Chain A
Amino acid sequence: MTGEKGIAELVFTFFRLLGREPVQIRKGIWQVFLDASLAKALDGWRGKERLFQYTFDRRLADTYGAELIAPGSYRLDTILQAVRNQARLSRAHLPHDLFHEPSIRSSLFQRLVGKAGSSIRLYVLNLERSFSPYLWVVSLVSRITHQRSDAIHHSCVDLRTGRVTPLPISNQLFVGGLPPGGTIRNRVLSYKQAYSLLCQHIARELEDQDQSWAEKAWEFLEEEQAKLARYYEGTGDQEQLAARQKALAENYAPRVLVQPVREALLYVPSFNYKLVEVGRAERVFHATYDPLTHEVIIPDGDYSVPNRSSSS
């Protein structure tokens, strides 16, 4: 949420998390006490404790002299800076009870039976609820030519499988901290490997996106380099020409910088079923349901869909 509502929400949450409660002293104007440390966080070293009056309405700011918090305003900028300097790393989990297990079970059966044919019957021998670790990385992706445009990029790396996906569920559903109980499945990938997979994923995504911005930058660069070449023509100073052209390329060649700005370890519920197939040939196998991707994962060789003719 980045509109005016989003700004107000951010400001109120900021003060709430700091244990301050802004008071509305006039319609649209709030007041909150800034102690010395908070004043310094917002105003730099010369900040002193004071009553801070603010508004989100430009008209009210002009009329009553309250500080304006609006897109582009200095005060919003200082609050954003204070907020963004916090919480580089966190962790959270999705509780199991957020998901309705009977529905998962029924969906699982439908899929397996659908694959194998209606002749088989499946029973759950055991259900183990555990958590799979994911690394959620929020990156700042900056496209740089003579201008710069930034975007926030979200990706999740499954630390067991290495699969990279966008976070397919609202982050509001997560609960902070480690899961209170239940097993956390061991990660298979190191963080370095996970980061490397993430980089590859982002590079693929960037390649698929519109590249006209880069085309324009190259056009400009070529034009400028041609001008330089004409300027140095006949001077014999090839070394300087090369140096200038290199500097030009360094300044204007299109490039993308990717910088992770925030990360979280996410523990996502995993429903691990031990199932038995009964019918012609009885067999026991495991299946894991991932509620993030709605996928059913069956370890290789653990289960093969029985062939109806061979089993008959």
Chain B
Amino acid sequence: MEPLFPITVPLFSPMQHSAEASPEYSEPTKVGLFTVQFSQGGLKQLVQEIRQKRFDSWEWFLLALHGDELHVAQRTPSGLLALGHLAERWKKAGVIPYPHQIKAAERVINEMRGQAILADEVGLGKTIEAGLILKEYMLRGLVRKALILTPANLAWQWYSELYEKFNIVPGIQRTKWDWEYSDILIASIDTAKREEHARIIHGIQYDMLIVDEAHKLKNSSTAAFRLVDGIQKKFCLMLTATPVQNDLKELYNLITLLKPGQLGSYRSFRAKFMKDKRTPKNPGELRSLLSQVLIRHKRGAGTVQFTKRIVHPIVVRLSPIEQELYDQVTRFIKDAGRKAGLSGPLILPLITLQREVCSSFFAAGLTLQKMLDKGQPHPNPVLGEILVRAAQIRQNSKCDILEQLMSTLEDKVIIFTEYRATQDYIRYRLERAGYSTVGFDGRLSRGKKEWIKQQFYRNAQVMVSTESGGEGLNLQFCNTIINFDLPWNPMRLEQRIGRVHRLGQMRDVHIYNLVTENTIEEHIMYLLHKKINLFEEIIGELDAILLHLNLAKSFESELMRIFLEHDEKEAIRRELDEFGDRILQGKHAVKSAVIDLL
């Protein structure tokens, strides 16, 4: 095949060199107030090419020269280069950057010199701001090597955001080789802080570091804090919706991590700005110092108005035979749970079983079978009996109601369930009833996920998704969600709703919750809907609240404790009321701590 261009010269990519002086540059020479470094690699290459007589045509040379001039003219920053560069991509992807996001990016680049805490409230698009800043620096030739540290479960979300919205193809860290070889790398902060990785990372000079969920760095004695502190970086962005939660020291730590000395020493900070650990002194002056490194936008005028969330609880009544089976399973769980104790190793499968049985008997059947197998050669006779009865059931009242509900909906619908067995069954029932469906779950590869998403967008009316598949999925074209079962953890529920109720959603979002009467679901619904009003209100700082209450990992256990300790409906309700109050107090505490200062 003939070469495309006259001579394709393996260039040393003229304008794509690292912002840092690489060995190909000469030693710095002092000239006036600055130093100058000349490329030595350029000279070597020139001599080599002349010797090899690798001369290109003059016309191409002039064209390339014209290209250089245009390129440099384009890079003269009068505004953000990324906006023009990404305009078409955004048009195709349906991304509309909000003015507050553009303003934030401009401020970080022009005023904050690339060092900032992006502390917008949840849902205002901090990731977009960070991506925009990263892209802008890349276009300006100031960032080549960047590291993005995120909680592990957000790595893929970052990947797709950067790829789809910014045309940046990052790597996701898998091995220790990736640290050096991947220019833009996304990594789990928990992996990165491990000694063997941290050592490598600390030896690398990064042009930019981005830390997501940066409030996790509030404690200066943690390994994560030490990791970030030791990273050599020119630009640094920290993303958190809650830069301060309980203690002003957390804020001090975060700012000092970003820019040591910005708030002085801790002693002087305490003397000057802290009345007590939660009340600031000289808030005006402190705010002014913070505004040099921290950007915070709140929902409302000037930023983003979200559409409404409209909740439709739908009560499902089980058939007598289903109810009997449910009661039997619950009795079994309570007996086993009380014997095993809350901290025992058996409690986790029991929690799972209790959640599954609320979803469908198909989902519970698998766990029951496993438990039965585990008990061999002396299987629990109750388990065997439950399994036999479950296999005999030919009816699913929840799915019957779902079909009825579907007949009233004309638009696209996402149905969420926690379990794959339930997902398969729902799809079977809906397909049988004449609906076109697609299934979305965590087993799918990235390419397939994208394909399924397109299928849903173009052809199918219903997407049946498990939540592990739902992470990082943006489906703003749909505004109806059906929660076939309810997750016990409000964070997961928020993530479900967040698939459609996010920036770019133009219509009110309808949330249908199928709640089975006389089951635990009724109580969960009471807690999440009536008590903490999760569905209609974006709690926003939910993760921070749970962290604040030390419930991030134990929400399910706490619920299980309540269910195991009490049999009476009223007693459970009383306990749930108390639990809900704790959450509301936590919400208030977190919110007021943040708002007071920022």
A residues less than 8 Å from B4 (CB atoms): 18, 37-38, 41
Q: Is the CB–CB distance between A258 and B1 below 8 Å? A: no
Partner of B60, one of A86, A148, A252: A86
Partner of A86, one of B20, B34, B56: B56
In the assembled complex, the Cα of A71 lies from the Cα of B59 at a distance in Å of 23
Are A70 and B8 closer than 8 Å at their CB atoms?
A: no
- The docked-state distance in angstroms from the alpha carbon of A76 to that of B86 is 11
User: Pick the contact of A211 from B20, B34, B72 — CB < 8 Å?
Assistant: B34
The answer to whether A1 and B89 touch (CB under 8 A), given A91-B55, A256-B31, A264-B61, is no
Residue in chain A with minimal CB distance to B83: A72
Min C-beta distance of B541 to chain A, whole Å: 30
Query: A87 to B9, Cβ gap below 8 A?
Result: yes
Interface residues of A in 233-290 (CB under 8 A from B): 233-235, 244, 247, 250-265
Residues of A within 8 A of B26 (CB): 199
Residues of A with C-beta under 8 A to B17: 257, 259
**In the complex the two chains form, is A259's CB within 8 Å of B14's CB?**
yes
Min Cβ gap B141→A in Å is 6
Residue in B28, B63, B87, B142 whose CB lies within 8 Å of A255: B28
Of chain B, the residue at the smallest CB distance from A13 is B63
B45-53, B98-106, B308-316, B350-358: which lies at the interface = B45-53
Question: B140 contacts the other chain (Cβ, under 8 Å)?
Answer: yes
Query: Does B68 lie within 8 Å of A262, measured CB to CB?
Result: yes
Residues of chain A with a CB closer than 8 A to B62's CB:
171-172
Cβ-based interface call for B35 (8 A): yes
Instruction: Produce 1/0 per residue, B1-17, CB < 8 A to A.
Output: 10011111101011101
Smallest CB separation, B90 vs chain A (Å): 10
Stretch at the interface among A109-117, A137-145, A294-302: A137-145
> With A and B bound together, what is the CA distance between A231 and B262 in angstroms?
8
Q: Are B15 and A140 in contact, CB atoms less than 8 angstroms apart?
A: yes
Contact A6 B32 (CB under 8 A): no
A2-B47 contact, Cβ under 8 Å, with A74-B88, A91-B55, A257-B21: no
A227 touches B261 (CB 8 A): yes
Q: A76 — which chain B residues lie within 8 A by C-beta?
A: 70, 74
Chain A residues with a Cβ closer than 8 Å to the other chain, count: 94
Q: Given the interface contacts A176-B58, A227-B261, does A150 sit within 8 Å of B141 by beta carbon?
A: yes
Q: Which of A6, A206, A214, A217 contacts B70 (CB 8 A)?
A: A6
Cα distance A74–B85 in the bound complex, in angstroms: 5
Verify A83–B33 contact, CB threshold 8 A. no
Within 8 A of A (CB), among B108-160: 109, 113-114, 140-142
Q: Which residue of B lies closest to A199 (CB)?
A: B38
**Whole-angstrom distance between the Cβ of B23 and the nearest chain A Cβ:** 13
Q: A177 contacts which of B9, B58, B234 (Cβ < 8 Å)?
A: B58
Q: Does B84 contact A (CB under 8 A)?
A: yes
Residues in B whose Cβ lies below 8 Å from that of A228: 260-261
Query: For the complex, is B287 an interface residue (Cβ under 8 Å from A)?
Result: no
Q: Once the chains are docked, how many angstroms separate the CA of A147 from the CA of B38?
A: 19
Complex Cα spacing A6 to B62, Å:
13
Known: A87-B63, A228-B261. A254 touches B34 (CB 8 A): yes
Residues of A within 8 A of B1 (CB): 37
B65 at the A/B interface (Cβ < 8 Å)? Answer: yes
**Interface pair A171/B28, CB less than 8 Å apart:** no
Q: Is the CB of A17 within 8 A of B63?
A: yes
CB neighbours of B114 from chain A (8 A): 146
Q: How far is the CB of A305 from chain B (nearest CB, A)?
A: 40
- Confirm or deny: B367 has a beta carbon within 8 angstroms of a beta carbon on chain A: no
The distance from the CB of B85 to the nearest CB of chain A, in whole angstroms, is 6
Report if B536 contacts A (CB, 8 A): no
Contact B38 A258 (CB under 8 A): yes
A189 to B75, CA, bound (A): 35
Whole-angstrom distance between the alpha carbons of A215 and B7 in the complex?
Answer: 44
Inter-chain contacts of A125 with B (CB < 8 A): none
Determine whether the beta carbon of A230 is less than 8 Å from that of B265. Answer: yes
Q: Which of A88, A147, A176 has the most CB of B within 10 A?
A: A88
Residue of B37, B43, B60, B76 touching A191 (CB-CB under 8 A): B43
Residues in chain A near residue B261, CB distance under 8 A: 224, 227-232
- Interface residue from A88, A211, A257 paired with B56 (Cβ < 8 Å): A88
**B260 / chain A contacts, CB cutoff of 8 Å:** 227-228, 231, 244
Smallest CB separation, B260 vs chain A (Å): 5
- CB atoms of B66 and A1 under 8 A apart: yes
Count of chain B residues near A, Cβ 8 A: 83
Taking CB atoms, residues of chain B closer than 8 Å to A218 are 33
Residue A90 lies at the interface, judged by CB distance under 8 Å to chain B: yes
In the complex with contacts A72-B74, A86-B6, A211-B32, A261-B68 CB distance below 8 A: yes
> In the bound complex, how far is the Cα of B4 from the Cα of A18, in angstroms?
7
A67 touches B88 (CB 8 A): yes
Tell me, in angstroms, the Cα distance from A262 to B84 when the chains sit together: 27
In the assembled complex, A120 has its CB within 8 A of some CB on chain B: no
Q: Is B374 an interface residue (CB 8 A)?
A: no
- A227 cross-chain contacts in B, Cβ below 8 A: 259-262, 264
Residues of B close to A151: CB separation below 8 A: 72
Chain A residue, CB-CB nearest to B24? A259
Residue of A nearest to B90 (CB): A74
Contacts of B46 in A (CB 8 A): 89, 191, 195, 260, 263
Task: Report the minimal beta-carbon distance from B112 to chain A, rounded to whole angstroms.
Answer: 9
Given A72-B84, A231-B264, A260-B43, are A14 and B11 neighbors across the interface (CB < 8 Å)? Answer: no
Contact A203-B31, Cβ < 8 Å, known A88-B11, A88-B56, A148-B140 = yes
- Any A CB within 8 A of the CB of B71: yes
Any chain A CB within 8 A of the CB of B343? Answer: no
Q: Known: A150-B72, A191-B47, A195-B43. Contact between A214 and B32, CB under 8 A?
A: yes
User: Which residue of chain A has its CB nearest to the CB of B16?
Assistant: A81
Does B54 count as interface, using CB distance less than 8 angstroms? Answer: yes
Determine if B57 is an interface residue (Cβ-Cβ < 8 Å). Answer: yes
Within 8 Å CB of A41, what residues of B?
Answer: 4-5
CB nearest to B36 among chain A residues: A256
A213 CB to closest chain B CB (Å) equals 8
Q: Are B31 and A138 in contact (CB under 8 A)?
A: no
Chain B residues near A199 (CB, 8 Å)?
26, 38
Contact flags B257-270 to A (C-beta < 8 A → 1, else 0): 00111101100000
Asked if B409 is an interface residue, CB under 8 A from chain A, the answer is no
Bound: A67/B92 CA distance, A:
12
Partner of B42, one of A142, A244, A250, A259: A259
Asked whether, in the complex, the Cβ of B58 is within 8 Å of the Cβ of A90, the reply is yes
In the complex, whether A10 has a CB less than 8 A from a CB of chain B is yes
Please tell me if A174 contacts chain B, counting CB pairs below 8 Å.
yes
A32 at the interface (CB under 8 A from B): no
In the bound assembly, the distance between CA atoms of A7 and B84 in angstroms comes to 15
CB of A258 within 8 A of CB of B36, answer yes
Contacts of A147 in B (CB 8 A): 77, 109, 140, 142
Known A72-B74, A142-B141, A191-B50: A206·B32 in contact at CB below 8 Å: yes
- B163 CB-CB contact with A under 8 Å: no
B67 at the interface (CB under 8 A from A): yes
CB distance from B429 to the nearest CB of A (A): 39
User: Does any Cβ of B come within 8 Å of A118's Cβ?
Assistant: no
Q: A86-B64, A146-B114, A191-B47 provided; 5 other pairs, C-beta below 8 A? A: A72-B74, A74-B167, A88-B49, A148-B142, A176-B59
Closest 7 CB pairs of A and B: A72-B84, A176-B58, A227-B261, A231-B261, A90-B61, A214-B33, A87-B56
30 A-B pairs in the complex with CB atoms less than 8 angstroms apart: A1-B66, A6-B70, A13-B59, A41-B5, A68-B88, A72-B74, A76-B74, A80-B67, A85-B11, A88-B9, A138-B65, A142-B141, A143-B34, A147-B140, A148-B142, A150-B76, A176-B58, A191-B47, A195-B46, A199-B26, A203-B31, A211-B34, A220-B113, A227-B259, A227-B260, A231-B264, A231-B265, A232-B261, A252-B113, A255-B28
